[in-house]
Amino acid sequence: MKTRILFGFLFFLLINGSTISLFGQEVKGAGETTEKFDANTFILDHVADSHEWHILTKPNGENIALYLPVIVYTKNKGFYVFSSKKLAYGKVYKGFKIEEEGDLKGTIVIVNEEGVADEKNLPLDLSLTKTVVAMISAAIIGLLLFLSLARSYKKTGISHPKGMQSFLEPVILFIRDDIAIPNLGHKFEKYMPYLLTVFFFILINNLMGLIPTPPPFGAIVTGNIAITFILAICTFIVIQFSGNKMYWKHVFATPGVPFWLLPIMIPVEIIGLFTKPFALMIRLFANMVAGHFVSLSLISLIFIFGSLVLAPVSVLFVIFMDCLEVLVAFLQAYIFTLLSALFIGMAIQEEH
């Protein structure tokens, strides 16, 4: 779908006879020298979080975008809630501005009367950004889906699964029988809600990110490190809180290690506690970002070479990548859940 829209868009470009910028660059009219296409900026702008949900840029340079609410807090001035439209195109509103260049690109900064941004003293930005809105939408979709599923279970009772149940139940059973039970043993029931939530949260977000447009689709939620960080932290907390005596003994007095090695072993084990969720965080983030990077790079090729001849090749590759990404969406949700279950299982295993 992403590719089809882009393909159609390319023809639109041709017919129009002018170069327009999808990428937040300055727009040149027909006959003007076209600015060199910067694939790096193009890709990063698509992948990165933003305060508005950009859909497309019209030939006259106007953006068609969904302007999301900005919520900022500063010590001096307190809370501010306003539409990000007031900050669009680099405008300054109530002393706030979205930085457009440099290291702080995309972040809200405070500007003084002279119009100079204060890069040291950043406001606390609790805006409902693109990622946050997409995540809320995913959560709502998930809630609607599973609450109606729960209701249908109340109706069907113990009879065979019907409708949506027959579609979702195999997935739930797969998580129970192939992820939870092998790793957690007889205590699996306690962890099922967490594993199911993680799996479906990641899966819904991954799949929503693959649909290019319109909002709330197309945001790369699981490719945002803050989200994978929170997910990993949750797994970390679950692991530490379910760890039994055996687990802590392995950390602080690893059996079979001579006591003089303990000063080395204990720090290593403690680092080990953090590397597991850290790996979870990076794996999910990197996989989801990488997939979008590849797709967007392939699309960028058309613009870099400035030739439509290349478009079919690019499009084919992007279709291939999108198919792969659907697989990756499921795979990453599965891997995150599986590894969470595995780590929890390691923390609760009994002495053997």
The footprint of other proteins (CB under 8 A) covers 40, 44, 47-49, 71, 103-107, 124-129, 131-132, 135-136, 139, 142-143, 146-147, 149-150, 153-154, 156-158, 169, 172-173, 176, 189, 192-194, 196-197, 200-201, 224-227, 229-231, 233-234, 289
CA distances from 107 to 100, 128, 224 (A): 8, 13, 15
Min CB(247)–other proteins separation in Å = 23
**Least distance from other proteins to the Cβ atom of residue 154, Å:** 6
253-286: b (≥16 Cβ within 10 Å) or e = eeeeeeeeeeeebeeebeeebeebbeebbebbbe
- Rounded least distance, CB 265 to other proteins, Å: 30
Q: Which is nearer to other proteins, 122 or 251 (CB)?
A: 122
Smallest distance from other proteins to CB 300, Å: 15
Residue 214: asked if its preceding bond is cis (omega within 30°), the reply is yes
Contacts of 265 (CB under 8 A, 6+ apart): 254, 257
**Closer residue to other proteins in complex, CB, 156/244:** 156
Query: Could you give the strand order of the β-sheet that contains 96-98, starting from the edge strand earlier in sequence?
Result: 96-98, 108-111, 117-118
Count of residues in the chain: 352
- Of 32 and 189, nearer to other proteins (C-beta) is 189
* 325/207 Cα distance (integer angstroms): 9
Query: What residues contact residue 36 under an 8 Å CB cut-off, 6+ apart?
Result: none
Q: How far is the CB of 146 from other proteins (least distance, A)?
A: 4
Nearest distance, CB of residue 336 and other proteins, angstroms: 13
Among residues 62 and 189, whose Cβ is nearest to other proteins?
Answer: 189
Ramachandran sector of residue 55 (left: φ over 0; alpha: ψ -120 to 50; beta: rest): alpha
Closest to other proteins by CB, 19 vs 183, is 183
Residues 127/70, Cβ–Cβ less than 8 Å: yes
Nearer to other proteins, 4 or 86 (CB): 86
